[in-house]
Amino acid sequence: MLVNRKLILAHFWLAFAVFGVALTLGAWQMFIRSPIGTWLSNPELYYRSLTAHGTVMGYVFPTLVAMAFGYAISESALQQRLVGVRWAWAGFWLIVAGSIMAVIPIALGRASVLYTFYPPLIGNVFYYLGVVLVVVGSWIWVALMSVNLRVWRKANPGAPVPLAMFANVAGSYLWAWTAVGAALELLLQIIPVAAGLKATIDAGLARIFFSWTLHAIVYFWLMPTYIAYYTIVPRAIGGRVYSDSMARIAFILFLVVSMPIGMHHTFADPQVGAGFKFIHSAFTALVALPTLLTVFTICASVEIAARLRGGRGMFGWIGALPWDNPMMLALAFSFVMLGFGGAGGLINMSYQLDASIHNTQWITGHFHLIFGGAIVIMYFAIAYDLWPHLTGRELIDIRLIRTQLWLWFIGMIVTTFPWHWVGILGMPRRMAYFDFGDPAIAPQALSVTLSAIGGFILLASGIMFIVILARGMRAPQIDAGPYRFALAVHQPTTVPVALNTHALWVALMIGLTLTNYGYPILNLALSSGTSVPAVYVGAQ
């Protein structure tokens, strides 16, 4: 029962429009710093582009996708009209206003601080205020998801919350709490300095606040993808979810353990001692657990689909899968990229191995493979799956869809594998230019060129994606029927309270954040002599 289709489409279209712009910038960046690019006489343009690319891809695009998907889940899984539609539109317009407010100083070169902010570098105050507006807009969505679930519970006392909505609300709570770290950094530290009210800032404390957001935000990006794994893929390929309760446990684990681990981004930092770094490292290992559980459950669910289609044998069933189905294709690509990206992630989270690749191109390769690859390819699949239900029109270009997914997968592999490799060679991140004439840097030239070619393959795929959706707006009308989610093999009739509500887990999430972040933050906030003079971008 998708009633507010216009609202959902508006979110999706804004998401994909800004995605298209940021993708183009990304491809240009890959090109301009590669040996096939021409000398960029003004490197500052690169950092403008990089700030815009990161801000859009990190904050605006995934947030809008999560919101659009969340509204769609709320209406179709709960079979209930969205409560608070006006608020939802207010949230949308806040994001529009925030994005415009942030992009103007970026375009003018007054906010080239990259999306990670890292003070004491300080940009124009409107850049930060714009980001704050985007986050506030998304918090309206968080509140609406909670309100809608509450309304449904009142009408269905004691009934199991549909898995898709349970996971969706878990994801929204995760985002609400994750964003608090960067919000504290912006409101207490950066904005007063950017506005000229203060002239000094504690750069170490800012990095700790930001790490609170920086890691768990990845799991917020991941949520729509995992929801699609569990609740869309099995239905789309004709299977069943292997286990409803294991799915709930996986989402609960994400909610609880993706928060208190962010300091593995600061292993090489001087402002935290070894103890808390080790604790965060161990907790990061823990966050692999929900993914390992998910890999099992989804593979088993896919096997069920294959066997229902007549697949036999130990591995013979793989051939019986509907490989021409875009959802099947997207899932397979996503899993391959998740596998490689996850393995890289395990390297990053261990202090000993991280030292050899920290802040090298390996890291950029890693998160492009996980986010741009494993996660975003499922965003495409979600859009393809929902589109006929949102537009009332059929997506006819199935072959084009398959080509688009193949290109994205190939492009991502061609881009990120050489990217990882040059990272191992020690190539630093975020540089506008490399002197490939230096004999010590020359061996990296081929890999960087390959990555740039991969970037253009991705750009081609991204353009195809937008074209397919745009053509879908004009295709012949059909009755797509109600939007459904996958059923479990043993569909639950009752669910234990712990697996049907979020309160306990939210409390645990907050508690673990306080134990793992409380001391380092208080220690830095209360110590004097750590604030340093701000350095304003563009002031030199």
Partner 1 sequence: MSAEETHHDSAEVAARVERRWATIAVIIIVMMALLAAFAGIHRATMPQPRVEITDPSRLHLSGEFVESNLGSVLEANGNVTVRAIGQQYSFTPACIVVPADTPITLRATSADVVHGILIQGTNVNAMLVPGYISEQLMRFAKTGDYLMPCQEFCSFGHEGMWGKVKVIDKTEFADRAKGGGRLGCVGQ
When the beta carbons of 32 and 405 are compared against partner 1, the nearer one is 32
User: Is 430 one of the catalytic residues?
Assistant: yes
User: Is 368 one of the catalytic residues?
Assistant: yes
Tokens of 123: 């940009």
CB of 356 to partner 1, least distance (A): 4
When the beta carbons of 121 and 521 are compared against partner 1, the nearer one is 121
When the beta carbons of 10 and 250 are compared against partner 1, the nearer one is 250
* From 367, 379, 380, 485, the catalytic residue: 367
CB of 112 to partner 1, least distance (A): 7
Residue found under tokens 């994400």 = 254
CB of 312 to partner 1, least distance (A): 18
CB of 315 to partner 1, least distance (A): 17
* From 53, 366, 389, 502, the catalytic residue: 366
Question: How many angstroms separate the CA atoms of 290 and 437, rounded?
Answer: 46
User: Is 264 one of the catalytic residues?
Assistant: no
Question: Which runs of consecutive H residues, i.e. helices, occur in 232-325?
Answer: 233-236, 244-257, 274-286, 288-308
When the beta carbons of 355 and 503 are compared against partner 1, the nearer one is 355
* From 81, 309, 402, 430, the catalytic residue: 430
CA atoms within 13 A on the CB side of 480: 21
| Dihedral sign for Cα atoms in the order 489, 332, 288, 166 | negative
User: Is 429 one of the catalytic residues?
Assistant: yes
Tokens of 9: 């489409």
Question: How many angstroms separate the CA atoms of 514 and 509, rounded?
Answer: 9
> Which stretches of the chain bind partner 1, using CB under 8 A?
43-44, 46-47, 112, 114, 118, 120-121, 202-204, 207, 242-243, 246, 266-274, 277-278, 281-282, 285-286, 288-289, 292-293, 296-297, 300, 346, 350-352, 355-356, 358-360, 425-426, 428-434, 438, 440-441, 489-490, 527, 529-533, 535, 537
When the beta carbons of 11 and 33 are compared against partner 1, the nearer one is 33
User: Is 110 one of the catalytic residues?
Assistant: no
| Strand 535-536 to 121-122 pairing | parallel
End-to-end CA, the chain: 57
When the beta carbons of 292 and 473 are compared against partner 1, the nearer one is 292
CB of 512 to partner 1, least distance (A): 16
User: Is 358 one of the catalytic residues?
Assistant: no
Question: How many angstroms separate the CA atoms of 234 and 237, rounded?
Answer: 5
When the beta carbons of 85 and 288 are compared against partner 1, the nearer one is 288
CB of 299 to partner 1, least distance (A): 10
* From 47, 69, 126, 219, the catalytic residue: 219
* From 110, 215, 235, 265, the catalytic residue: 215
User: Is 389 one of the catalytic residues?
Assistant: no
To the nearest 5 percent, what fractions of the chain are helix, strand and coil? Answer: 70, 5, 25
Residue found under tokens 């809008």 = 64
Contacts of 472 (CB under 8 A, 6+ apart): 387, 388, 391, 393, 394, 395
- Residue type (1 letter), 326: P
* From 429, 436, 456, 471, the catalytic residue: 429
Q: How far is CA 27 from the centre of its chain?
A: 19
CB of 116 to partner 1, least distance (A): 8
Question: Which runs of consecutive H residues, i.e. helices, occur in 434-533?
Answer: 445-472, 503-526
User: CA angle 375-379-381, nearest 5°?
Assistant: 115
Catalytic residues, by residue number, are: 215, 219, 366-368, 429-430
